[in-house]
Amino acid sequence: MSGRQRSGSSTADQRPVKVTCFLPGFNAGETTRGIELCRGLVTEAQERNRQVAVRLAYSTSRFDYEAQIVASGFVAHRLPLHLDEAMVAGIMTADHHAAELVSDLGKARQFIQALIDDIVTSRPDLVLFGFVPPAGIAAQILRVPAVLYLPFPAYRSWVSRHFLRDVPDDLDNAILSAAPPALRQLLASAVSVGMFTKGIFKQQTFAAAGRQLGWQVASPDLFAMFASPLQLVTDLPAFYEGQDIGPDTRITGPVFSAPPEVDIDPEIHRMFSPGPRNRVYVSMGSSGEKPYLLAAIQALAAMPVRAVVVAAPRICSVEEVRASMPIPPHILLTDSFVPAHQVNAMADAAVIHGGQGTVQTAASSGTPIVGVGMQAEQSTNLDNVVRRGAAIRIPKRLWNPDTIRRATRQVLELPSFQENAARLSREYAAIDGRREAARAIWDFLEK
């Protein structure tokens, strides 16, 4: 897919700008967010009488989102990086526990080398990447311009002050739950500073592999891997008012999967057709965990609602769900890729994990949320909506059928949740995050 050349453009504009977007194909949020950003680049190219050749390069795995990449119409390229299920599970677990994503030096070197080879072969004018540390290292080694997109600012000062809005679930307990909010926030800030010494922000194995391949930086950590002259945060600007996000960071507005003209499964239409019972959408994305999905299903099985539940194959297959409990007729299970922005718009509530894309598709639809964060960033995504009165976040240790039922009843029965969710939806509608991100990237390219 590329922007078409319009008459009147200069000779210098005749050559298409080549963009390679590196994606972790096993992660739905990262993959679909990259697709949306690339769609924005094409649209903005047409507005500027420019041409752009976009290429999406991705690691493969047993369960990946290659079909969504292909369906987007872009040139898709499989990297020589196939991740087995043990590798993917290790990355997901590390992400949830703020640990190193990869601990094997040989694997880390293989990751980076594959991206270096791809850049050398494809010779892009720009590398676009999200939470893919090896992409930042490879682009820096080859001195290729790069633009980063993330759910939060990769800026030390911001992380130390604002990354955590509350005590992390892993440290929370009954005593801290009763502590005043100011004390909890003080502890959260202390933990944020301490996270600089943890695996998630150090990434020592990737750093060592990068140094072996010629990466030379003074402080080889995650911030250095993400260092780029333009860093996009794909979130609502209002969440960052008054915060120091860094000189190279731009808050673009929400960017989430919104593929055009997607047909919704007739069974979903049937389950969510108008009727007396409330409708609840359930999803743990591609980064949730099986026990949390099963607890949500158990909660809704005993409620007078109608539910559509997405059981992502990597998390828990439909067969596993059915083997673990009886599924009543008012719950529809599906393992298909669902256009969440459309299905959320049909629902009265969403029971979800805290992945940015999953939260944004619910919030943009005006759907109140009951959520659980798999890690700190996901908890913060939910807390932003909680502060707007449109969500309830349940700590991981308290995520069970009883608490889920109580929270779901609250967001369905209290008018304030519906009203606040509708208000937040209007904020989302007022900004085109995909277009703002594309404009920022093109401004950077044209400088």
Q: What is the pLDDT of residues 206-227, one digit of tens each?
A: 999 999 999 999 999 999 999 9
Residue 58: per-residue pLDDT: 96
- In this structure, are residues 34 and 21 in contact, taking their beta carbons and an 8 Å threshold? yes
Give the residue carrying structure tokens 């301490």.
194
**Tens digits of residue pLDDT in 263-287:** 889 999 999 999 999 999 999 998 9
405 neighbors 413 (Cβ within 8 angstroms)? no
pLDDT band at 175 (very low <50, low <70, confident <90, very high): low
The per-residue pLDDT for 279 is 98
Q: Rounded distance, CA 253 to CA 439, Å?
A: 12
142-173 tens-digit pLDDT: 999 999 999 999 999 998 888 877 777 766 66
- Provide mean pLDDT across the span 298-320: 96
260 or 274, higher pLDDT: 274
Q: Which of 5-9, 161-165, 315-319 has the lowest mean pLDDT?
A: 5-9
Q: What is the pTM of this model?
A: 0.92
Q: What would the mean pLDDT of 345-359 be, rounded to a whole number? A: 97
Q: Please state, as a whole number, how many other Cβ atoms lie within 10 Å of the Cβ of residue 95.
A: 18
Q: What is the mean pLDDT of the chain?
A: 92
Q: Which of 154, 183, 187, 155 is nearest to 169 (CA)?
A: 187
The amino acid at 370: V
